[in-house]
Structure 1
Amino acid sequence: MTNKTLVRAARRTVVAAATAAMLATSVAPVFAQATPPTNGPASVADLAQKLLGAVVNISTSQTVKGTEGPGAVPMPQLPEGSPFQDFFDDFFNKRGGDNDGGSQKVQSLGSGFVIDAEQGIVVTNNHVIADADDIEVNFSDGVTLKATLVGTDTKTDIAVLKVDPKGHKLTAVKFGDSNTMRIGDWVMAIGNPFGLGGTVTVGIISARNRDINSGPYDDFIQTDAAINRGNSGGPLFNMNGEVIGINTAIISPSGGSIGIGFSIPSQLAVGVVDQLRQYGETRRGWLGVRIQPVTDDIAESLGMKEAKGALVAGIIKGGPVDNGQIQPGDVITKFDGKEIDEMRDLPRVVAESPVGKAVDVELVRKGKEMTVQVTLGRLEDGEKLAGSEEGAAGEDNGSDNGAEVATASVLGMTIGELNDDARSKFGIAPDISGVVVTDVAKDSAAAERGIQPGEVITEIAQESVKTPKDVMDRIGALKEQGRKNALLMLASKTGELRFVTIRMD
C-alpha cells in the first residue's frame, strides 16, 4: 500500500515536470527577461553538515510492573488444542506472566544536543527522560554512550544529561539570543522524528511569546519547520548555527506535523540549564504574591488609563513582601526595569531574577504610582509556604458589631453582617473580616461574575468594608464619581482572595 502511494507520487512528479518543460519552451520568449524570485534561503547544506554532529538521539527504557485491574488484558480462554494457544502463551509470558505482577520494558525516543564537548553535557526535554531507568545518547557517527541525569526542571520541561566523552570527540553548539529573532526569520530544526535518526527541516518563526498553557513560564517560539514526535528536546537553530530554541511541543490532530511547533526560547532556557549544571536544581526568585489579570473593567475601576500589569490578589504569609511593601489591590506595572504588560509576564521575570536580589517594583496603589524595593526569596521555598496555607486574609481583622444596617441587597447580592452565626453557617475562618454574601440572585451581575453565598466582601474600590452600610455607601460614592464598575475584593471561607468587577448600571 505504501509502495503504491510512493509510486503514484513519483509518476505525478514526472508528468508535472514534462508539462512544465513544454510550457517553459512555449513561453520562453515572453519571460526571458524576468528576474527569478528568491524563495527562502540559499542551500543550508553547509550549515546542516556543521551542526548534525552536535544533535543526538536519546533512547530511554523504563521497567513497568504488571498490574491487575481494569487496564490489564486477561489471558483469553481458548478451547483445548487451539492452534492459537502457543501464540497467546508467548505473548502474555513476555508481558509478565499473565498479568501476575511481572514487569516489562517500555522504551521511548527523543532528541537532544551537546552544549559542552569537554564535559559531555547534553540538553533535552524533561518529558523525554522522565521516570527512565536507563538513558542512552546516540551520536550521528553511530557511537552510543550511557548518560547520567544532572538535573531536571518540570516547569520549563528542560533536562540536563552528562556522558563520559573519553575516547570520543564530541561536537558542541552554542546558545544564541532568542530575543533578537523576529517573526519571519529562517530557522532550522534537527532531531529524531519517529526514531528515524538525524533529520533536518527548515522553516520560519511563525510567532513569538506563545502561551499554550503548558506551564507557568510559557513564552514559546512558534515555527512551521516540521517538528514531529521524536523531535522533542532537539534544537532550533538560527542561520548562524546558534540554538535559539528547544523543540518541545506540537499541535497536531493526527500526531504528525501540520506546521505548528513550539520551542522553548534560549533566553529562558539558558538560565535554567546553568542552574541545573551548577546546583542540580533550579533556584528561582520569588516575590510571594498571588496575582490575576488586569481586565478592562478592573482598569476602569482603578482609574487606570489602560489595562496592563499584574493585579495583586493576595500576599503569601511569611513571604518576601509580607511586611506591607506590596498590598492586595496593587497593580505591578514594572519589575526590575522590565515592563509588565500582562499578568503572565511577572512570574517569568521574577523567576529569572537571582534569589536574594533587591529589586525595584513599580506599582499603582489606589490610583497613585509608586516604587518599592523588595528582596526576593526563593521560589522552591515559597511553594512549601504557599502549600501550607490556604490563603492570605484581608488586611483588616475583626468585625464591627455596631453596624447600622443588618442586611441589604445590592448588585444582585444579599449581604449581611459577618457575625458568629454567619461564620458558623458558611464555615468562615475567624481571621476574615468584611461583609458576607448570603444570597446571589439568578442572572444578576454578581452571578455572572461567579460570586457565591459564603464569600466575604473585604474591600470595594480598594477601601475596606465591615458592614452592609459600608458597602452601600461605597457603591453610592462610585456611582456619583461616574464609575461604571465596582471593584470588589472577595475572600473565600478559607481566606483566599480574588478581585472581581461588577457592573453598576
Structure 2
Amino acid sequence: MTLLSTIKTPAKRFPRLAVTALAIGLMTGTALVAPPAATTAHAASPASLPSFADLVEKVAPAVVTITAAHKVTTPQVPQELQEMMRHFGLPDEALPGGRGGNGRPRIESALGSGFVIDPSGYIVTNRHVIEGADEVKVHFQDQTDDVPAKIVGQDERSDLALLKVETKKPLQALAFGDSDKMRPGDWVVAVGNPFGLGGTVTAGIVSARGRDIDAANLNDFLQIDASINKGNSGGPTFNANGEVIGINTAIFSPTGGSVGIGFAIPSNVAKPVIEKLKTTGHVQRGYLGVTLQAVTPEIADSLGLKEPKGAIINAVSPKSPAEKGGLKQGDVVQSINGKAIDNQRDLARNVAGMDPGKSVDLGVLRAGKPITVSVKLGEAPSADKDGNPAATSPDGKGDNTSVAGLKLGKLDDRTRERLGLDEGTQGVVIVDPGKDDLGLRPGDIIASVNNEAVKAPADVTSQVEKAKKDGRKSVLLLVRRGDQQMFLPLPVTPKG
C-alpha cells in the first residue's frame, strides 16, 4: 500500500510552485557542497566514461512534447457571494471561473512526452498523458508551431496510446530494440520533457527487470536509474545502439521528484500493443483463465525439476478456456507452441499477445510426466482488482501434530465454521506455521502435498517422509487462504 501511495506518474500537470521548489533546492544544494578532499580514491578518468552525444543527436529529433488540453467547468458563483468578495477587495479573477464567476469552462493542460515510430506520423505515448483530453497537440524540436494530433487508440491495461499527426514530408522515426536482451548494469539513455523544459537527456543503467509496482495491470517493468520526472511519461528509453527498449511511465518517490528509481514499459511488451492499436484502434488479448505462480528453486526441487523454470497453475477458473482444454491445478507449463517458458510473466505475456480464438499447444509437466495440452484461447476480461479476506486463526485447541516445523490440526466441522469455510472443504489446518519466512499463516489450509490431496495431518507426514526417502529437500504445498490459492515449498527438514 505504501508503495502505491508514492508511485507518481511523471506526466501530468506541474504547478509553478513545483518549479520554484526545484530552483530553491538547487541553490541550497550548492551551499552544501564540501570542498574537495586532499586525496581522492580511484577517481574515474573522463576518457573511460561513455559519451552519448552522437546517439542523442541521432534520436532527439524523433522525441516530441505532448500537450493534452482539458476543458474544466467551474461551478456558478451566486451573485451575493460575488458582491461580498468584491466588497472585501478581491478581484474578479479570484472567483471560480475567473472574471464574473459565471461557471464558464477553462482550459487545463497536461504535459508529457512521446516519440515517432513511423515516418507517416504515428507517435507513441502513455495513455495517462492524453486520458480524457479534448485536444492533443504535438511539438517537434525543429518546428515553431504545435501540430494537432488525432488519438488513434489507447489501451488502459498497458497504459499506452497511439497518436497520428498529418505530415507533408516523412518524419524521422525511431526503431524498437529487444528489451529481453537488456541486463542489469546495461547503459540506458532517457530523452523527454520533464517539467515542460523540452528536450532533456539523462543517462543511467538498468537497475532491475520484471518489476511489479501494481500500476495499472503491468507486472513486467524495467527499473532504471536514469533521472525521469513529471513530463517524462511516454518518452523513450534507449539502449546504447539508439534503439527504444522502454517507455518511461512511472517513478517511485517519497517527494514526487526523481530519486533514481524509474520504471519503463519494456519494448517487447509495448510492440504488440502498439501494432494492434495501429491496425484496429483497440487491443484484444488472449485468455487462459488460470492464476499462475513462479517456479522457485524450492518448488523445482519438490517437483524434481532440474531448474526453476516454467509457470505453475494455482487455480483454474470454472468454464474457462483452460478448464475446457484440460489444464489442471498443479500443472507446470513449460512451453507454448514449442517455445520455452521462463516464468509466469513470460507465459502471461505470450498468451496476452495472441488473438482470442487461437489454439495453442502447451507443454505441461503433470505428476512428473510431460504432456501436451491444446487450448483455444478466449478473450481477456477486464482486470479484477478485488481483494481476498484473510483467514481467521484457529484457537489451537485439540489434537495437533508437528510436521516439518509446522503444527497441524484436523479440519473438523467446528474449525470450518470458525474459519468461515464451506462444509465440503477438505484439507489440514495450520495451527502454528513456526518459521515466519515460509510464507504460511495460522488458519491456512493445506489442500495437497506434492499434488496429493490430504485430509489429515498423517497424510502430510506421509508425504514429507516419502520426500525424505527420495532425497528431496522440500515438498510442495497447495495452500488455501480465504479465496486465494497458492503453492508454497516446505523444507522437509526445518531450519534451526
TM norm structure 2 = 0.73
Q: Which residue of 2 aligns with 1:471?
A: 456
3-state secondary structure, aligned to 2:95:
helix
Q: Which residue of 1 aligns with 2:371?
A: 371
Q: Which amino acid in 2 is paired with 1:149?
A: I
**Separation in 2 of the partners of 1:424 and 1:250?**
43
**Separation in 2 of the partners of 1:369 and 1:108?**
55
Q: Which residue of 1 aligns with 2:199?
A: 198
Among residues 462, 468, 476, which one is paired with 2:451 in the alignment? Answer: 462
**Separation in 2 of the partners of 1:9 and 1:387?**
46
In the TM superposition, residue 36 of structure 1 has moved relative to its aligned partner by 6.5
Q: Deviations over 1:306-347 (max 9, x none)?
A: 544322111122322213632101122333444444333321
**Separation in 1 of the partners of 2:419 and 2:205?**
60
Q: Which residue of 2 aligns with 1:176?
A: 177
Is 1:271 matched up with 2:272? yes
Contact 2:408 2:457 in 1 (8 A): no
3-state secondary structure, aligned to 2:167:
coil
Contact 2:449 2:463 in 1 (8 A): no
Q: Which residue of 1 aligns with 2:353?
A: 352
In the TM superposition, residue 123 of structure 1 has moved relative to its aligned partner by 0.4
3-state secondary structure, aligned to 2:96:
helix
Q: Which amino acid in 1 is paired with 2:94?
A: F
Contact 1:434 1:459 in 2 (8 A): no
Q: Which amino acid in 2 is paired with 1:124?
A: T
Unmatched tracts of structure 1, length 5 or more: 24-34, 69-74, 391-406
Which structure 2 residues correspond to residues 253-272 of structure 1 after superposition, within 5 A?
253-272=254-273
Is the radius of gyration larger for structure 1 or structure 2? 1
Is 1:428 matched up with 2:422? yes
Contact 2:431 2:443 in 1 (8 A): no
3-state secondary structure, aligned to 1:262:
strand
Which structure 2 residues correspond to residues 57-72 of structure 1 after superposition, within 5 A?
57-66=65-74
Q: Which amino acid in 2 is paired with 1:330?
A: D
Q: Which residue of 2 aligns with 1:450?
A: 441
Q: In the superposition, relative to structure 1, how do residues 428 and 65 fare at CA in structure 2: closer, same or farther (>3 Å)? A: farther
**Separation in 2 of the partners of 1:251 and 1:117?**
34
**Separation in 2 of the partners of 1:7 and 1:442?**
54
Q: Deviations over 1:161-207 (max 9, x none)?
A: 112224x6533222233334444444332211100112233344444
**Separation in 2 of the partners of 1:8 and 1:126?**
35
**Separation in 1 of the partners of 2:435 and 2:240?**
54
In the TM superposition, residue 285 of structure 1 has moved relative to its aligned partner by 2.5
3-state secondary structure, aligned to 1:292:
strand
Q: In the superposition, relative to structure 1, how do residues 383 and 325 fare at CA in structure 2: closer, same or farther (>3 Å)? A: farther
Q: In the superposition, relative to structure 1, how do residues 43 and 124 fare at CA in structure 2: closer, same or farther (>3 Å)? A: closer
Q: Which residue of 2 aligns with 1:86?
A: 90
Which structure 2 residues correspond to residues 205-354 of structure 1 after superposition, within 5 A?
205-295=206-296, 298-304=299-305, 307-323=308-324, 325-354=326-355
Contact 2:220 2:345 in 1 (8 A): no
Q: Which residue of 2 aligns with 1:29?
A: none
3-state secondary structure, aligned to 2:195:
helix
3-state secondary structure, aligned to 1:230:
coil
Contact 1:114 1:123 in 2 (8 A): yes
Contact 1:217 1:348 in 2 (8 A): no
Q: Deviations over 1:225-276 (max 9, x none)?
A: 3322111111123344332221222233333333333322222211111011
3-state secondary structure, aligned to 1:321:
helix
3-state secondary structure, aligned to 1:189:
strand
Higher-RCO chain (CA-CA 8 Å, sequence separation at least 6): 2
In the TM superposition, residue 124 of structure 1 has moved relative to its aligned partner by 0.5
In the TM superposition, residue 110 of structure 1 has moved relative to its aligned partner by 0.2
Unmatched tracts of structure 2, length 5 or more: 1-19, 389-397, 402-406
**Separation in 1 of the partners of 2:435 and 2:75?**
52
Q: Which residue of 2 aligns with 1:72?
A: none
Q: Which amino acid in 2 is paired with 1:375?
A: V
Q: Which residue of 1 aligns with 2:409?
A: 413
3-state secondary structure, aligned to 1:151:
strand
**Separation in 2 of the partners of 1:296 and 1:4?**
46
**Separation in 2 of the partners of 1:4 and 1:247?**
24
Which structure 2 residues correspond to residues 79-228 of structure 1 after superposition, within 5 A?
81-82=87-88, 85-87=89-91, 89-94=92-97, 103-118=105-120, 120-140=121-141, 141-166=143-168, 170-228=171-229
3-state secondary structure, aligned to 1:146:
strand
Q: Which residue of 2 aligns with 1:52?
A: 60
**Separation in 2 of the partners of 1:97 and 1:428?**
64
Q: In the superposition, relative to structure 1, how do residues 133 and 224 fare at CA in structure 2: closer, same or farther (>3 Å)? A: same
Q: In the superposition, relative to structure 1, how do residues 39 and 253 fare at CA in structure 2: closer, same or farther (>3 Å)? A: farther
Instruction: Among all aligned residue pairs of Structure 1 and Structure 2, give the percentage whose two residues are the same amino acid.
Output: 37
3-state secondary structure, aligned to 1:105:
strand
Contact 1:66 1:95 in 2 (8 A): no
**Separation in 2 of the partners of 1:128 and 1:9?**
34
**Separation in 2 of the partners of 1:316 and 1:279?**
29
- How many residue pairs end up in the alignment? 442
**Separation in 1 of the partners of 2:442 and 2:327?**
26
Q: Which residue of 2 aligns with 1:41?
A: 50
Contact 1:359 1:374 in 2 (8 A): yes
Contact 1:413 1:441 in 2 (8 A): yes
3-state secondary structure, aligned to 1:253:
coil
264-273 or 318-327, larger mean C-alpha shift: 318-327
Q: Which residue of 1 aligns with 2:404?
A: none
Contact 1:66 1:96 in 2 (8 A): no
3-state secondary structure, aligned to 1:478:
helix
**Separation in 2 of the partners of 1:423 and 1:36?**
70
In the TM superposition, residue 471 of structure 1 has moved relative to its aligned partner by 2.5
**Separation in 1 of the partners of 2:479 and 2:140?**
57
**Separation in 2 of the partners of 1:63 and 1:80?**
27
3-state secondary structure, aligned to 1:187:
strand
**Separation in 2 of the partners of 1:436 and 1:143?**
69
In the TM superposition, residue 278 of structure 1 has moved relative to its aligned partner by 0.9
3-state secondary structure, aligned to 1:86:
coil
Q: Which amino acid in 1 is paired with 2:450?
A: A
